Chains A and B, each alone.
Chain A
Amino acid sequence: MNKVLSVTSLSMDFGGLRALNEVDLAVRRGEIVALIGPNGAGKTTFFNCITGMYDPTEGEILALTPGGAKVRLNGMKPNKVTEIGLARTFQNIRLFPSMTVLENVMIGRHCRSRAGILGAALRDPRTRREEQAIVDRSYALLTELGLEKSVNEFARNLPYGAQRRLEIARALATEPFLLLLDEPAAGMNPQETMQLKDLVLGIRERYQLSILLIEHDMKMVMSLSDRIFVMEYGQMICEGTPEEVGRDPKVIKAYLGEDHHG
């Protein structure tokens, strides 16, 4: 099987509330998969379970690394999940506001570098080489996402769209094989959304990675994704290609209400 991520009957309870109910989802290598659903359907909870923010109540999350190892992600710490190769962005941007743009991306390189306290104090050749590599790589990523002009600016001073791109750059810096984007187009105008779509496609091409994204912008989802999963009330109600999902009566009902015809 070439599934980089396979989730089987995942459930998450918060006290008496079942936020996720036996959810199944799989992402194949090189695929762009979208997860859609009305507000409060449990999409972000699902993301949080995969990335180690929550420990799911039941079910199994398996990741297949490019090296061929199968890893069970249940209850793993977020930083471990990132180390394995799943990187995420956040619905409400979570940059490090008082660090520069470059430093934000350099943080992404943290788990791929080694230098410790002693290295920092002595600045031996190995540490210096590593530091140089971190800077170069981060700068290259920023150039690719069109942020090279503002490397030394504070992240909080960037315009909104640029902050979204910076978050993606930071996630890419961790060298993921699966990129999880939580509403990357939220708050963007149609033109910015189209640019974002090209950016996401470009990233997949260039880094050979798989992408799982939550999105509300239907035009973008339909034109971007290879497959779409639809959630409602913590359950997966439909799965398929954009055409299939667009025709599914359950999806239309979930989005437009009971009495819609046509």
Chain B
Amino acid sequence: MGNLKKAVLASLWFMFLTFPVLVVRVNTIEKTVQWRFMNMIYVGVAAFALSYVWSYLLAKRQLGEARAADGTGGRPSLFGRLLSEPRIYGPFLAVAGLAALAFPAVGSMYQVNILITALIYVVLALGLNIVVGLSGLLVLGYAAFYAVGAYTYALLNHHFGLGFWTVLPIGAGMGALFGILLGTPVLRLRGDYLAIVTLGFGEIIRLVLENWSDFSMGPSGISGIDRPSLFGMQLSVSGSTIYMYYIMIGLMLLTIFLTNRLKNSRIGRAWVALREDEIACQAMGIDKTRTKLTAFALGAAWAGLMGVVFAGKTVFVNPASFTFLESAMILAMVVLGGMGSIVGVVLGALVLILLPEFLRDFALYRMLIFGAAMVLVMVLRPQGLVSGERKVYRFRAAEGSHE
């Protein structure tokens, strides 16, 4: 009943607010006033419906929270159940995998390009997930490491003619190096302070690339970078796009495989412990310095790797590709998907890159819908689409052995 009353009030309020704009129209030529009361009814009905659904969903969420706090836990979310049941997600994964492999044969070049971008962001988000999601170090300058990788390939290719495959590991190494370079001075910082310093670091890298023209050719960037070669052969533009698509599929699978293994390893547990309680973590014998630096280095290594791929894909790099917006987007993917969860982060990245593309039909309203979708997720599922699941160990009672 309370919800209903609130919804009525909200709709009245919205009708009042939009009255001057949507209802009254003054025709200055004929000097008449038109009253468009139909608009008022539309606004009223829409506001009522939205407000009612909104409060219903909120109430439902609060109920869930109360149940979780009780310790009764309630049942796991529908999503969680789907993810933990191999019979359900197995066939789904197989179909998705086949579709992904066959896609270049079906889709247009434009669509394949979009998918490559989406895959690059999936890997970037998985890399940032190590730093932000698992270790809890809020880094706002992740695009800097991405830039380091891209410029590593661009410069080495431009000056020394080194190929994609040679630079791929070098780019990852350079990313890791810069991760350690940034990590060392900020070891004592955490939370907001760390975020601000890393934000500054990201801007410094971008500004250096923009202004140090002798080194990076300034804002005009570096063009004519080689696309990856297939056993020494140079491919046509469309051929190399498809090739790049499969490279990215491979790199994404490798990243998922590795981050999944890391997550449930001795190092991964140390990262999570660091996130949960820094003081207790140290008191339990974990070297804070080393653990933080490995997180920085590994997270940045993936950004460096993707930088090389990005440079090889677009054959042109300039500093404008590595702004703060880029870092914020990648962070949004991690937060939206669910910090620390690999499935969640992959979903988050795909949604954030592909949703605006699907919404192109709505042209003007595209960004509005996109923003609304993000707000909705944050209100209804603040822990992200998939919240961090931990590994379940099974024991046969009394024996203490596990499967």
Contact = CB atoms under 8 A, between A and B. Distances in A.
Contact of A152 (B286, B392, B400): B392
Contacts of B269: 99, 103, 106-107, 110
Contacts of A139: 393, 395, 400, 402
A123 B272 contact: no
Contact of A78 (B73, B265, B283, B393): B283
Contacts of A171: 284
B286 A79 contact: yes
Contact of A79 (B258, B266, B282, B393): B282
A117 B270 contact: no
B273 interface: yes
Given A79-B282, A110-B269, A116-B267, A96 B277 contact: yes
Interface string A133-146: 01110011001000
Interface string A165-189: 0000011001000000000000000
A167 B329 CA distance: 39
Contacts of A143: 400
Contacts of A78: 279, 282-283
A169 to B, nearest CB: 11
A77 B277 CA distance: 16
Interface size class of A (residues with CB under 8 A): 35 or more
A77 B282 contact: yes
A57 interface: no
B294 A174 contact: no
Nearest to B286: A110
A78 B397 CA distance: 35
Nearest to B263: A120
Contact of A120 (B268, B288, B391): B268
The list of the 4 closest CB pairs from A to B, nearest first, reads: A111-B285, A120-B265, A82-B285, A96-B276
15 contacts: A53-B283, A79-B282, A79-B287, A82-B284, A87-B284, A95-B276, A98-B388, A98-B390, A100-B390, A103-B272, A110-B284, A111-B286, A115-B266, A117-B298, A148-B397
Interface of A: 51, 53, 77-79, 82-83, 87-88, 90, 94-100, 102-103, 106-108, 110-113, 115-117, 119-121, 123, 127, 130-132, 134-136, 139-140, 143, 148, 151-152, 154, 157, 170-171, 174
